[in-house]
Amino acid sequence: MKSRHFLAAALLLTLTAAAPGNDMIPSAQIVRSAPALDALIDANAPIRKLGEGMTWSEGPVWVADGQYVLFSDVPGNRIHKWSEAGGLSVFMDPSGGNGPASPAFREPGTNGLKPGRPGEIIAADHGSRAVVAIDLATKTKRLLATHFKGKKFNSPNDVVVAADGAIWFTDPPYGLEGINDSPLKEQPVNGVYRLAPDGKITLVEGGLSFPNGLALSPDGKTLYVAVSDPKRAIIMAYDVHGATLSRPRLFADMTSLVGEKMPGLPDGMTVDAKGNLFATGPGGVHIIAPSGTQLGRISLGKAAANCTFGGPDGRTLFITASDMLVAVPTKTRGTPAHQPAAFSQGERG
């Protein structure tokens, strides 16, 4: 996602890495809602700001081979890189599309990022209106999904890779100027799709207003979809049966929390190895048990957009929040990254 009002102000920001010893966020805190949270994260865990100066940071991915994080600045049209040794830098500029951004795009950059085949990441690319694979060495792109039923996607927003190599992705119109009213919008719905290993694209959910973040349970049997609609700020859960979904159900309803005191909406999310959902929403990152019980929240004082596990031992939660990249040590770790299928380049669907 996202609709943000501070693009002009963001031009005045300078990209900076937080200095050691001066990187704690004073207003941030761990909010404990249930005793089970103690097994996942320490209530006094340090919440570090790793860098700031982005317009709207999104889609973090841990690159294990290089021991670094990549994350998107969607309106800024860049991918940034952070490592403990090298600090913060620009990795790819521009990140979305294949050239200068068109004024038809309000947010032209990449959004959600996930591990891909060795030496690649998978990206939801607003500027290309596609799901793409990006070569980490050359920064060249392979188009994986560009059209459905002969029409361009709106602006793919987030992706998740299943154990069978399929890529699930959401396609709201946040990247387009005018959003739902954009004259460029070709898909009649803001859908959730599955790109199969054989290249077939299936619309698996077309009834959500603004589908956004995605996550799969560790066993791959449950798909979570965040809906970034302030009028119905929810997370849906579905049973996965190959290329189809069934038993849609409300997993978390955050609508009553939406407001200035709790910035943010349901957006990006990740799961740990035990199936606990770490989901951005009003007031930060919500930690929710597989049963739907709210265990706690990481409050940052700013809207959080997405999160992922990483670090040398896999126990660091990296969070993109407004203009920042944040890290929180945990007692848990994420699920193993799955490798997408070797899709050929070109229009798929």
Q: Is residue 2 part of a domain?
A: no
Give domain status of residue 335, yes or no: no
Q: Are 64 and 72 a contacting pair, CB within 8 Å?
A: no
Task: Write a three-state SS string for 218-245.
Answer: CCCCEEEEEECCCCCCEEEEEEEECCEE
CA dist 225 and 209 (Å) reads 12
The answer to whether residue 111 sits within a structural domain is yes
Contact between residue 303 and residue 263 where contact means Cβ atoms under 8 Å apart: yes
d(CA 10, CA 254): 28
Q: Six-digit token pair at 282?
A: 């009003």
Quote the pLDDT of residue 27: 85
For the record, the structure tokens of 222 come out as 């449950």
∠ at Cα 24 (76, 226), nearest 5°? 50
Question: Rounded to an integer, what distance in angstroms lies between the CA atom of residue 6 and that of residue 171?
Answer: 23
- Tell me which residue of 85, 76, 124 sits closest to 306, measured CA to CA: 124
Q: What is the structure's pLDDT at 98?
A: 83
Here the CATH number for the domain that contains residue 324 is: 2.120.10.30
Beta carbons of 71 and 158 less than 8 angstroms apart = no
Residue 337 buriedness (CB in 10 A; 0-12 / 13-18 / 19+): middle
Is 6 part of any domain?
A: no
The per-residue pLDDT for range 61-84, each reduced to its tens digit, is 999 999 999 999 999 999 999 999
Which alpha helices (DSSP H) does the chain contain, by range? 7-10
* Domain range enclosing 241: 19-329
177 CB-near residues (< 8 Å, 6+ apart): 103, 104, 105, 106
Domain total in the chain: 1
Greatest alpha-carbon span in the chain: 54
How far apart CA 204 and CA 244 sit, in angstroms, is 6
| 155 within a domain of the structure (yes/no) | yes
Q: What are the pLDDT digits (tens) for 111-153?
A: 999 999 999 999 999 999 999 999 999 999 999 999 999 999 9
343 belongs to a structural domain: no
Least Cα distance to 125 among 140, 333, 10 occurs for 140
Residue 342 included in any domain: no
**Contact by Cβ (8 Å): 9, 35:** no
Mean pLDDT by 10 residues, the chain (349 residues): 38 57 82 97 95 96 96 97 96 89 86 97 97 97 96 97 97 95 96 96 98 98 98 98 97 96 97 98 98 97 97 97 97 93 58
Residue 63 belongs to some domain of the structure: yes
DSSP state of 105: B
